[in-house]
Amino acid sequence: MSRNDLFSRDYLTRRDFLKGSAAAAATVAVFGAQRAQAEEPAQKSPEEPIRAGIIGTGAQGTFLLSNAVKVPGVEIVACCDVYEPHLEKSLILAPDAEPYQDYRRLLDRKDIQAVIIATPLHLHAQMSIDAMDAGKHVFCEKMMAYSIEQAKAMARKQRETGKVLQLGHQRRVNSTYRHAYRMLNVDKVCGRVTQVRAQWHRNGSWRRAVPDKSLEKQLNWRLYREYSQGLMAELGSHQIDAVNWFLNALPVSVMASGGIDYWKDGRTVYDNISVIYEYPGGIRCTYTCITTNEHEAYYEMYMGDEGTLVVTPEKGLLFREPKAEQLVWAPMAHKDESKGKEAIVLDAGATRRAREGTGQEEIKTDASQDDYYVELEEFFQSVRTGKKPASDPESALQSCVTCLMANHAAQTGRKIQFNEKMFQI
């Protein structure tokens, strides 16, 4: 490696760059390397590595891939994308992987045990079903499928084959969410929950750059109805999945209104939508997803007669109602000021410490890992052990139905009543 190369951007893409660097590192680190060998061998997975492939290596696939390659005991041996620049990029992240443009050729490989699917929504079902038929375990990005029937077919295929089918609702593995769930449902810190408010507000077109107009629908598939279910599927399903989970319930009805009112750029999915769900017991959940203002970005807020819990993947806040009794551990908890009101912060460590001595079970939380990493680690663990993942086909089907019916309500202008059959596999 010449010094000229060091000053160029080649280090990002050149395949032979690491050869030189590793050799250079070895000469400088001779002392350390010898020590390392003498003291302990490099960590090895106790079992044979799981060989996995990824189908779809666009923006979301890249996030997943960059985390999948870090999971110990996993080898990414195949990458597949129909769009060559995305495929090339994936090979930088997984340099030993075999490239494919036809996912069926990847599924033909007998040595691959598991696949990660991060393709446009309308392809999830077919690819997942083909993969399970080919004997592969499947991690598929959320939302589960383009239609309710497709989602049910995926769930049925999972039951038939016994393979792991995990969906990418990563709030289910997020430590703050798990902690907040316990506080809401076990400790009942909000008392009786009566209302939920949730939102994902962005200020941007939601478009991806396309180098050539002919690639518009391929790269901006999220904007077109034939491939996408829009904001409810791509953003809302994360949060609606969490609301179903936190309330331990499924909605009984939904009303909604949406439109293409700002980004008149040829898209055919809504650029904003407002939804009202009714849950059993008169709990109402209002949800909005917009693309023209990012104030307060995203959160789910659970309102009860004793308190309010605001949850995001990064932070949870608890506001107690003035009339509520003080919690035993509250004086010791980490506090925060939000809009002039004192809140108890659910940042794990502090709240956990505060809970000591109350005789309640400690809730383990860990903010040191990316949620993408944690969900993939859980997936590969499920592949090894057969344990059911937190985001399983049953709950993912429920959130898929919940979101698709909001779209249906907005499109028809009708209030939709849910029934048990809709959620049944």
Taking the complex as a whole, how short is the minimal distance between the CB of residue 13 and another protein, in angstroms?
7
Considering only 82, 252, 367, 422, the residue that binds another protein (CB under 8 A) is 367
297 is a contact residue toward another protein (CB under 8 A) = no
Looking at beta carbons only, is 31 or 331 nearer to another protein? 31
223 is a contact residue toward another protein (CB under 8 A) = no
In eight-state DSSP terms, residue 234 is I
8 is a contact residue toward another protein (CB under 8 A) = yes
- Strand boundaries in 295-397, DSSP class E: 298-304, 307-311, 316-320, 335-338, 341-345
46 is a contact residue toward another protein (CB under 8 A) = no
211 is a contact residue toward another protein (CB under 8 A) = yes
Which tokens hold the place of 28? 């400088």
Looking at beta carbons only, is 208 or 384 nearer to another protein? 208
170 in Cβ contact with 374 (< 8 Å): yes
Which tokens hold the place of 303? 């309102």
Size of the site for another protein (CB under 8 A): 54
Taking the complex as a whole, how short is the minimal distance between the CB of residue 334 and another protein, in angstroms?
16
Expressed in angstroms, the distance from the first to the final Cα of the chain is: 58
12 is a contact residue toward another protein (CB under 8 A) = yes
214 is a contact residue toward another protein (CB under 8 A) = no
Taking the complex as a whole, how short is the minimal distance between the CB of residue 290 and another protein, in angstroms?
16
- Tell me the DSSP string of 183-216: HHHTS-TTSSEEEEEEEEE-BS------SSGGGH
Looking at beta carbons only, is 1 or 260 nearer to another protein? 1
6 is a contact residue toward another protein (CB under 8 A) = yes
Span from 120-128, 129-137, 204-212, 325-333 in contact with another protein (CB under 8 A): 204-212
Span from 164-172, 332-340, 365-373, 378-386 in contact with another protein (CB under 8 A): 365-373
Taking the complex as a whole, how short is the minimal distance between the CB of residue 85 and another protein, in angstroms?
6
40 is a contact residue toward another protein (CB under 8 A) = yes
135 in Cβ contact with 163 (< 8 Å): yes
Instruction: Write the CA distances from 111 to 23, 78, 102, 133, integer angstroms.
Output: 31, 11, 17, 15
Instruction: Write the CA distances from 80 to 50, 77, 99, 105, integer angstroms.
Output: 18, 10, 6, 9
Considering only 182, 197, 208, 315, the residue that binds another protein (CB under 8 A) is 208
309 in Cβ contact with 198 (< 8 Å): no
340 is a contact residue toward another protein (CB under 8 A) = no
CA 406 to chain centre: 20
152 HSE (CA, 13 A, CB side): 9
Nearest residue to 243 (alpha-carbon basis) of 185, 305, 318 = 185
Sites for another protein among residues 377-406 (CB under 8 A): none
Span from 11-19, 161-169, 315-323, 388-396 in contact with another protein (CB under 8 A): 11-19
What helix, strand, coil percent values describe the chain, rounded to 5? 40, 20, 35
**Per-residue contact flags (x/-) with another protein for residues 68 to 97, judged by CB under 8 A:** -xxxx------------x------xxxx--
In eight-state DSSP terms, residue 283 is E
Which tokens hold the place of 73? 């005991």
Give the relative orientation of helices 17-28 and 30-39 as an angle to the nearest 10 degrees: 80
Taking the complex as a whole, how short is the minimal distance between the CB of residue 359 and another protein, in angstroms?
29
Taking the complex as a whole, how short is the minimal distance between the CB of residue 370 and another protein, in angstroms?
4
Looking at beta carbons only, is 29 or 328 nearer to another protein? 29
13 is a contact residue toward another protein (CB under 8 A) = yes
Contacts to another protein by CB under 8 A: 1-4, 6-9, 11-13, 17-22, 24-25, 28-29, 31-33, 35-36, 40, 42-43, 59, 66-67, 69-72, 85, 92-95, 204-205, 207-212, 367-370, 373
